[in-house]
Amino acid sequence: MKREIKFRAWHIKDKVMFDVIELGLGEGSSMCVYSKKFNRVRESNYRNEFEVMQYTGLKDKHGKEIYEGDIVRIMDEKEKLEVFWEYGAFFVNNQKLWKQVSLGNWGSGQIELLGNIYENSNLLDGKGE
């Protein structure tokens, strides 16, 4: 199965999430990020201004796209899990099993997107939804 490659980014200073149209490398360690939200290319030191997240290629049971940094619930469990990229795959931490589990182990109908770690970090500390 072919996976669509796309990104979104969190603008750290402005605290806004946006879809990334194009990524590029600038001089030194800077990154160019083009977005309809900014309607121009933003060049900055990647680590200081943006957090860029990749699309997993999966959608949740409501058809919402799942990205790195998203918070999901699997199969109506109470546990809320953060999606992350490691070793060439997307994972969630399963606290019950004390290990990382590949997000691809579940079908879209078994995953529910709850939010993300930037706009909804309270979900992971038990204070949200």
- Mean pLDDT per 10-residue segment, the chain (129 residues): 81 85 70 66 61 89 93 83 80 59 71 93 71
* pTM, full prediction: 0.79
Q: What pLDDT was estimated at residue 120?
A: 92
Q: What is the DSSP letter of 74?
A: E
Residue 84 · residue 103 · CB < 8 Å: no
What is the side-by-side strand order in the sheet with 89-94? 99-102, 89-94, 81-86, 70-74, 111-116
Single-letter residue type at 43: E
> Looking at residue 90, what is its pLDDT?
79
116 closest CA partner among 33, 55, 35:
55
